[in-house]
A and B are shown apart, each in its own frame.
Chain A
Amino acid sequence: MLAEIGYLALALSFAASLYAIVASVWGERTHHEDWVNSGRNAAMLTFALLTLAIGALWVALITEQYQLSYVWSVSDPQTPLFYRVTALWGAQRGSLLFWCWLMSGFAFGATLLNWRSDRRLMPYAVAYMMAVLAFFVGITLFIENPFARWWIDPASGQELQSVFAPAGALAPNPTRLAQTAQGLNPLLRHFGMIIHPPMLYLGFVGFVVPFAFAMSALASGDLTTNWIKATRRWALVAWLFLSLGLILGGRWAYDVLGWGGYWGWDPVENAAFLPWLVGTAFIHSVMIQEKRGMLKVWNMALVILTFSAVIFGTFATRSGVIQSVHSFARSSIGLPMLLFWAGMTGVSVWLLVWRWQRGELRDEHAFVSIFSRESLFVLNNVVFLALTAVIFWGSFGAPILSELVFNTSITLGVDYFMQVTVPLFALMYLLMGVAPLSAWSATSLVRLGGALLVPLGLTLVTVLLIALTSPFDAGAMLAYGLVFLAGYVALYETLRGAYARVRGRGEAWHVAIARLFGRNQRRYGGYMVHLGITVIGIGVIGSTAFQYETRRTLDIGETQAITADYSLRFDGFQRGLSADGRVVNVASLTVLRNDGQVAQIQPRIDEYPTMPMTIAGAHSTLEKDFYVLLTGYDEAQGYGVFKIYINPLVNLVWWGGLVLILGTLLAVYPKEIVPQDLRERSYRQQVAIDSKGRKPAGASA
C-alpha cells in the first residue's frame, strides 16, 4: 500500500510540476491572472505531494517493509531506528526523492514569501523552479524509483524489481527478505554523514531560487535589482547550507575515513566546492549592482554559472562516472542529467545574450579607480572564478581533455591542487583584508594605506609571536600574515564602528556593538563571516603545515614518548559484540602530557559483516588534536599497533565554521518585517495596477 501511495504521489507531483510550467508561462504571456494563479497553486501542491511520497518511504523504512527494494538495500532488522530515518538519503534512489522534496520545499517557500512583493517576477520564476523540479522528479519516477518492489516470477524463479506486480508474479517471503536485507553502508553511520547530505542538498537546491528569479528577470523584462532583492536571503541561506555541508563533509572524512585529514581534493569533494566558490563570488558582486547599478550582465552570468555548477556537482556525485569514495553507484541518470544541464544552461545563456544585445543590461556607472571598492570586488570575483577554473581543470578538465585528445587519461594529484590553489587563496585573503577598507567609486592608495595601518601592525605582532613560539616555516608565516590581516580588518572595522557610538552617543560597549549589528546586519554579519573564514584559515594552515604523524607498536601497560611533551600508554584491549551485530575491538589508551594524564581515548575497529571500520580516538583541544588509529593488534602477544597524528589547530576549522554560520544568520535575519496589513495594501494596489493591462480573473474560461 505504501508503495502505491508513494508512487502515485510522485507521479502526481510530476504532472503538477509540468502543469505549473505551462500554466505560469501561458498565463503570463496571455495576461490571464487565473492561469498564473493556477500555476502557482500547482507549484505549491508539488510540495504537499512530495511530502506524502517521502512520508510513505519513511514509514516503509521505519516499519521495515523489505519488499521495497530500497528499504531492503539500506536497512536490515538490526538497524536502529535513528539510522532507519537517515537511511532515506543513504543511497541514490531515496536521496533523489529527498532532493526533490527539498527542492519543492524551497519552491514552496519562495512562492509563498515572494508572491506578493515580487508579483511580476513570479510566473517565470515558478516556471523555472518547476522545470528543475520536474526534471528531478522525472528521473526519480522513471529511472531511479524508490518505490520499486521485489517480485518473484514463479516460472523462472527470477527476482524482479517493479512498483506493481508483473503478470503472474508473487511477493517474496517477508522473513526471507528480512534475513537477506543489506543494512546501511557502515561508512554512513556517522553524525557528519547524517547531516552532511541534507545540508549539501539544501545548499544545492537553494541556489535554484536565485537562478529562477534571475532567469525570470530576463524573461519578463524586469531588469531592475528586484530579482536580487527578492533572492538575496535565499542566496545567503543556500550559501550557508552549502558551507555547512562542506564543513560537515570534512568532519565526516576526518572522523571516519581515518587518514588524519579532512580535505583530499577528491573530484566529488571538488564538485561540491565549485558551486560554493561561484556562489561566493555571486553574493559579493550583487552588492555592486544594488549599490552602483553595475555588473548587471556579470551577475546574471554568475547566477547561471552557479546553477550550472550545482547541476554539474549533482551529476558528478550521482552519475557514478567520476572515480571517488564519495560517489554513488554508476547510474543511468548520467546522460539525462548531462542533457538537462546543457539544455538549461543553453536556454539561460541565450536569454542573457538576447537581453544584452537589446542593450537592456547597460551599467549605470563605469569603473573609475582601480582601488575603489567595486574594483576590488571585481578582483575578488576574478579570484573566485580563477579558483573555480583551476579546480575544475584539475578535477575534470585535464582528465576529460587528455582522454579526448591523447586517448589516455591524465589525472592531476594533490600536489597540483596545493601548487595552484594556495596562491589564489592567499590573494583571496589579501582582498578580504583590503576591500572592506576601500570606499565606493574612488579610494586613493594613501587613504587605503592609512586605514590598513592598525590591522597591519597587529598582524605583524601576531606573526612574530607565532614565529617565536612554533617551528619556523616562511610559507606558513606568510600565510598566517594574510589570514590574520583579513581577521583583524573585520574586527577593527567592527570595533571602530562601535567606538564611534561609544564616543558619539555615550553608549556602553556592549550596547554599542549590539546596536551596530542591529543597524547594519548585512555589513557586520559579513565581517563575522570573514572572521569565521579567518579562523578556518588559521586551522587549515596549522593542521597542514605542522601536522606530525608516527606509527608505534605498544605492549599492554607500556608508555612511549610521542613528542617532546606528549606520551601514550596502552592500558588494554577489549573485544565484544554490539547490539546491532558488529564486533567491536577497542583499545584503551591514556594520553599523557609532561607525564600528567590528560585524556583517555579509545580508538577502535568495528567489524561489520561487509567491511571493517577504523574509528579514530582523539583527544581534542583548541590547540591540537591527538588523533590515534588502531591499525593492528595481537591479543595473544598483548600488543597493539597505532598510527598517531598530531594535528595542530585543526579544531579551529570546525569552530570557524560555527562563526561563519552565526555571521550568515545575522546577515540573513529579517530585521523589519513589513506588517501584514501594509503588505496586503501594497499587494491590492499592485493587482489594481496590473489588472488594468490584464483580463480579469475568469475571463479566459
Chain B
Amino acid sequence: MAEMTWEKPLASTAAKPKASALKLERLKFLIGGALLLGAVVYLVLSGTMTGARFFITVDDLVNNPAYVGQTVRITGVVLGDSIAYDARTGELQFTIAHLPNTDGDLGMALHLAAKDPNATRLNIYMADETMPDLLQHEAQAILTGALGEDGVFYANELLLKCPSRFQEMQPSDLAEAGA
C-alpha cells in the first residue's frame, strides 16, 4: 500500500553543512539537553521534597512522638463497629487497628488483626468526607494525614480495599449439602 508522508518540503538537504557548523549545532543540543535534564531533575527533587509521605504502620506512628503533626501515610484494618458518619456535616470517624506487614495472605492478616484485642488502635477523624462505599469491617485503610496532640489521626485522604478482593472465596457449607 502506498505510504503517506508527514512532511514539509525538504529545505536545503542538498547542501551539506560544514563540520564547524555541525559542531556548533551539536554544542547547542548538548547545552539544551543539559538544561532540560537539569530542569527535570530539579522538578523531581522539589516535588519529592514536598510530596513525600512516610508510609508507616499504626505501631510506628503511635510509638514515635516525632511523627506527631507530621503528614504521613498509614495503613491499618478498619473495625466495623466503630464507623460513625454524620451525613449533614460530612464528619467521618472510625477506628483502625495495627496491621503487621505481610507478604502472605492479606485477607487472613486483616481478619486476624481485626480480631486481635491487643493490637494498637487509632481513632481516625475526617472532616467533609463522603461516606466511602468500601468502608466496612476488615477493609484495609490507607490514610494520609497527621496525628494530633489528642491522639486522633486527622486524615484528608482515604484509600480502601475491601477484604473480598484479597480472599480466595470458598463456598462454605458445601460439604453438608454435597452431592
Q: Name A's B-contacting residues (CB within 8 A).
A: 72-73, 150, 152, 154, 157-159, 170-173, 175-177, 180-182, 185, 187, 229, 232, 258-259, 287, 290-291, 320, 323-325, 328-330, 365-370, 373, 375, 379, 382, 386, 389-390, 393-394, 398-399, 408-417, 419-420, 423-424, 438-443, 519-523, 526, 551, 553, 610-614, 629, 631-633, 641, 643, 670-674
User: CB-CB < 8 A to A290: which residues of B?
Assistant: 3, 5
- Separation of A410 and B50 alpha carbons in the complex (Å): 12
User: CB-CB < 8 A to A291: which residues of B?
Assistant: 5-7
Interchain CB contact under 8 A, A408 and B164: no
A-B contact pairs, 10 of them (CB 8 A): A150-B174, A172-B174, A290-B5, A330-B105, A366-B22, A370-B28, A370-B29, A439-B10, A553-B87, A671-B4
Shortest distance between the CB of B99 and any CB in chain A (Å): 12
Shortest distance between the CB of B178 and any CB in chain A (Å): 4
Interchain CB contact under 8 A, B44 and A420: yes
Q: Which of B76-84, B111-119, B130-138 participates in binding chain A?
A: B130-138
Residues 85 to 100 of chain B near chain A (Cβ within 8 Å): 85-90
Shortest distance between the CB of B35 and any CB in chain A (Å): 11
Interchain CB contact under 8 A, B25 and A631: no
Asked whether B52 is an interface residue with its Cβ less than 8 Å from the other chain, the reply is yes
User: CB-CB < 8 A to B40: which residues of A?
Assistant: 386, 389-390, 424
- Separation of A290 and B3 alpha carbons in the complex (Å): 10
Interchain CB contact under 8 A, A553 and B174: no
Interchain CB contact under 8 A, A159 and B175: yes
User: CB-CB < 8 A to A398: which residues of B?
Assistant: 48, 52
User: CB-CB < 8 A to A410: which residues of B?
Assistant: 52-55
The residue that A631 contacts in the complex, of B3, B55, B87, with Cβ under 8 A, is: B87
The residue that A287 contacts in the complex, of B6, B11, B89, B134, with Cβ under 8 A, is: B6
Interchain CB contact under 8 A, A393 and B174: no
The verdict on A258 contacting B130 (CB below 8 Å), with A159-B175, A323-B159, A419-B50 known, is: yes
Asked whether B169 is an interface residue with its Cβ less than 8 Å from the other chain, the reply is yes
Interchain CB contact under 8 A, B6 and A526: yes
- Separation of A471 and B17 alpha carbons in the complex (Å): 51
- Separation of A399 and B51 alpha carbons in the complex (Å): 12
Interchain CB contact under 8 A, A176 and B174: yes
Interchain CB contact under 8 A, A412 and B10: no
Give the interface residue-count category, chain B. Answer: 35 or more
Asked whether B66 is an interface residue with its Cβ less than 8 Å from the other chain, the reply is no
Shortest distance between the CB of A672 and any CB in chain B (Å): 5
Known: A399-B55, A413-B144, A424-B40. 8 other contacts (CB 8 A): A172-B174, A365-B13, A419-B43, A441-B13, A519-B4, A522-B6, A614-B131, A673-B1
- Separation of A423 and B161 alpha carbons in the complex (Å): 33
Interchain CB contact under 8 A, A419 and B5: no
- Separation of A170 and B178 alpha carbons in the complex (Å): 8
- Separation of A158 and B169 alpha carbons in the complex (Å): 13
Interchain CB contact under 8 A, A520 and B4: yes
Asked whether B149 is an interface residue with its Cβ less than 8 Å from the other chain, the reply is no
Interchain CB contact under 8 A, B1 and A670: yes
- Separation of A386 and B172 alpha carbons in the complex (Å): 51
- Separation of A170 and B179 alpha carbons in the complex (Å): 7
Shortest distance between the CB of B68 and any CB in chain A (Å): 17
Shortest distance between the CB of A138 and any CB in chain B (Å): 21
Interchain CB contact under 8 A, A523 and B6: yes
- Top-3 shortest CB links A-B: A632-B87, A416-B51, A157-B175
Shortest distance between the CB of A88 and any CB in chain B (Å): 18
The verdict on A416 contacting B169 (CB below 8 Å), with A258-B130, A410-B53, A441-B12 known, is: no
Interchain CB contact under 8 A, B88 and A172: no
The verdict on A408 contacting B54 (CB below 8 Å), with A291-B6, A370-B25, A419-B43 known, is: yes
Interchain CB contact under 8 A, A259 and B55: no
Interchain CB contact under 8 A, A440 and B8: yes
Interchain CB contact under 8 A, A438 and B52: no
User: CB-CB < 8 A to B6: which residues of A?
Assistant: 287, 291, 520, 522-523, 526
User: CB-CB < 8 A to B155: which residues of A?
Assistant: none
Shortest distance between the CB of B47 and any CB in chain A (Å): 4
Shortest distance between the CB of B96 and any CB in chain A (Å): 15
Asked whether B151 is an interface residue with its Cβ less than 8 Å from the other chain, the reply is no
Asked whether B20 is an interface residue with its Cβ less than 8 Å from the other chain, the reply is no
Interchain CB contact under 8 A, A674 and B1: yes
Q: Name B's A-contacting residues (CB within 8 A).
A: 1-13, 17, 21-22, 25-26, 28-29, 32-33, 36, 39-40, 43-44, 46-48, 50-56, 73, 75, 85-90, 105-106, 128, 130-131, 133-134, 136, 142, 144, 157, 159-162, 164-179
Interchain CB contact under 8 A, B130 and A643: yes
Shortest distance between the CB of A298 and any CB in chain B (Å): 13
User: CB-CB < 8 A to B157: which residues of A?
Assistant: 413
The verdict on A325 contacting B161 (CB below 8 Å), with A330-B106, A629-B130 known, is: yes
Interchain CB contact under 8 A, A671 and B9: no
Shortest distance between the CB of A340 and any CB in chain B (Å): 20
Across the two chains, which residue of chain B brings its CB closest to A438? B8
Interchain CB contact under 8 A, B10 and A632: no
- Separation of A629 and B130 alpha carbons in the complex (Å): 9
Across the two chains, which residue of chain B brings its CB closest to A608? B133
Interchain CB contact under 8 A, A72 and B1: no
User: CB-CB < 8 A to B133: which residues of A?
Assistant: 187, 258, 611-614
Interchain CB contact under 8 A, A551 and B161: no
Interchain CB contact under 8 A, A631 and B131: yes
- Separation of A521 and B5 alpha carbons in the complex (Å): 9
User: CB-CB < 8 A to B160: which residues of A?
Assistant: 325
User: CB-CB < 8 A to B142: which residues of A?
Assistant: 323
Shortest distance between the CB of A648 and any CB in chain B (Å): 21
Interchain CB contact under 8 A, A611 and B134: yes
The residue that A632 contacts in the complex, of B43, B46, B88, with Cβ under 8 A, is: B88
- Separation of A171 and B168 alpha carbons in the complex (Å): 19
Shortest distance between the CB of A452 and any CB in chain B (Å): 14
User: CB-CB < 8 A to B5: which residues of A?
Assistant: 290-291, 520, 522-523
Shortest distance between the CB of A561 and any CB in chain B (Å): 18
Interchain CB contact under 8 A, A329 and B165: yes
Interchain CB contact under 8 A, B7 and A368: no
- Separation of A330 and B102 alpha carbons in the complex (Å): 12
Shortest distance between the CB of B162 and any CB in chain A (Å): 6
Interchain CB contact under 8 A, A159 and B11: no
Of A232, A373, A551, the most chain B CB neighbours within 10 A belong to A551
The residue that A412 contacts in the complex, of B33, B47, B166, with Cβ under 8 A, is: B47
Interchain CB contact under 8 A, A173 and B177: yes
User: CB-CB < 8 A to B32: which residues of A?
Assistant: 370, 379
User: CB-CB < 8 A to A419: which residues of B?
Assistant: 43, 46-47, 50-51
Across the two chains, which residue of chain B brings its CB closest to A366? B22
The residue that A373 contacts in the complex, of B8, B39, B172, with Cβ under 8 A, is: B8
- Separation of A414 and B51 alpha carbons in the complex (Å): 7
Of B5, B17, B178, the most chain A CB neighbours within 10 A belong to B178
User: CB-CB < 8 A to A287: which residues of B?
Assistant: 6
The residue that B48 contacts in the complex, of A366, A412, A674, with Cβ under 8 A, is: A412
User: CB-CB < 8 A to B73: which residues of A?
Assistant: 411, 413
Interchain CB contact under 8 A, A390 and B144: no
User: CB-CB < 8 A to B22: which residues of A?
Assistant: 366, 368
Interchain CB contact under 8 A, B165 and A521: no
Across the two chains, which residue of chain A brings its CB closest to B46? A419
User: CB-CB < 8 A to A416: which residues of B?
Assistant: 47-48, 50-52
Interchain CB contact under 8 A, B87 and A641: yes
